[in-house]
Amino acid sequence: MAKVRVEDIIKKFNLELISGEEGIHRPITTSDISRPGLEMAGFFNYYPADRIQLLGMTEITFSERLDPEERKLRLEQLCSDLTPGIIISRGLEIPEELIEASNEYSVPVMRTNMKTTRFSSHLTNYLEFKLAPTTAVHGVLVDIYGVGVLITGKSGVGKSEAALELVKRGHRLVADDCVEIRQEDTDSLVGNAPDLIEHLLEIRGLGIINVMTLFGAGAVRSHKRITMVVHLELWDQMKQYDRLGLDEEKIKIIDTEIPKLTIPVRPGRNLAIIIEVAAMNYRLKKMGVNAAQQFTERLADVIEDGDEK
């Protein structure tokens, strides 16, 4: 199922549909935009036909200098079976040959009053947002002191209860149970809640609660960049857990690797405070303060001094 169709950008940017109405359901598969300057000059060897074609002052003025036969041929070549649509910027007059070709090949021709570069920037940002790789993860996403913490673990381990305590401590809930994640850049993951369960939190024995209604608008946010993952698991006496914090585990979501902490769960442990401190400690590490590394260096100095004596 296509994520974006031509009709979507017509509505989003209030574009004027000039011709080729039969093609408004064509899918847009790439966020790249083409300005077909070389193509207007007759070089179609590497024509990126699968992109939105954006014609500005330069392209339209050049086409007007072509003789009618050449102009008709090249504008027809722009209207391929793969081309989602052609957009004319600055409210420029559209060549009649392009209108005829677009109707013949059902390629939508649209017009905007925005300047070419400005419109290109807006359209690219919109398409990158809509076409970004996405996935869904079972977990809870909370904004803790500006750090997006994704809490994962098996069902019933206490993720939602920890999130509720974090909200009570002044932090903000983004999503509970299902977190929709999109990769906006090579190293940027942004999570949000599905519309159906936005602002809702499920607590076993209590049921579903509306966090925004109970704690106010300041207790929730619509989306947040995911910075680290905290994985909760039941305490295993046979497993050796990291006690210094020197070993940094990573987890890969889509194509992005982010730090992961594994926290064992057992009665009496205050998970909310542990997760809160983990987020603060992550911020300190980003500022260059690594308590575990400093302790290791001091320990090495003590051992070295002892050997010298």
Answer yes or no: do 154 and 265 share one domain: yes
Q: Give the per-residue pLDDT at 244.
A: 64
Q: Among 131, 166, 184, where does a domain finish?
A: 131
User: Which residues, in sequence order, are bridge partners of residue 135?
Assistant: 181
- Stronger pLDDT, 2 or 27, i.e. the higher one: 27
The predicted-structure confidence for 110-126, as pLDDT tens digits, reads as follows: 999 999 999 999 999 99
Residue 177 appears among annotated catalytic residues: yes
Average pLDDT value over all residues in the chain = 90
**CATH number, position 183:** 3.40.50.300
Number of domains into which the chain is organized:
2
Q: Give the per-residue pLDDT at 309.
A: 58
Give the torsion sign (CA, 192, 194, 195, 199).
negative
102 marked among binding-site residues: no
Answer yes or no: do 123 and 202 share one domain: no
Which among 11, 65, 239, 243 is annotated as catalytic?
243
155 marked among binding-site residues: yes
Answer yes or no: do 269 and 140 share one domain: yes
Answer yes or no: do 115 and 76 share one domain: yes
156 marked among binding-site residues: yes
Which among 5, 50, 177, 269 is annotated as catalytic?
177
Which among 118, 138, 169, 250 is annotated as catalytic?
138
Q: Give the per-residue pLDDT at 218.
A: 92
154 marked among binding-site residues: yes
Of 211-215, 220-224, 234-238, 269-273, the range with the lowest mean pLDDT is 234-238
178 backbone dihedrals φ, ψ, rounded to 5°: -130, 125
Residue 182 appears among annotated catalytic residues: no
Q: Among 87, 109, 131, where does a domain finish?
A: 131
For residue 98, is it left (φ>0), alpha (ψ between -120 and 50) or beta? alpha
Give first-to-last CA distance, the chain, whole Å. 73
Contact 291, 261 (CB under 8 A): no
Q: Give the per-residue pLDDT at 83.
A: 95
Within 8 A by CB and 6+ apart from 134, the residues are: 180, 181, 182, 183, 254
Alpha helices of 92-251 — where are they, by DSSP H?
96-105, 116-131, 159-168, 211-215
Which among 26, 74, 159, 231 is annotated as catalytic?
159
Q: Give the per-residue pLDDT at 25.
A: 94
Percent of the chain with pLDDT over 70: 95
Contact 41, 78 (CB under 8 A): no
262/251 Cα distance (integer angstroms): 11
Residue 81 appears among annotated catalytic residues: no
Answer yes or no: do 161 and 193 share one domain: yes
159 marked among binding-site residues: yes
158 marked among binding-site residues: yes
Q: Is residue 67 part of a domain?
A: yes
The predicted-structure confidence for 173-207, as pLDDT tens digits, reads as follows: 999 999 999 998 778 899 999 999 999 999 888 89
**CATH number, position 113:** 3.40.1390.20
3-state helix, strand, coil in the chain (%, to 5): 40, 30, 35
Residue 59's domain comprises 6-131
Mean pLDDT of 71-100: 94
Residue 242 appears among annotated catalytic residues: no
Q: Is the pLDDT of residue 266 over 90?
A: no
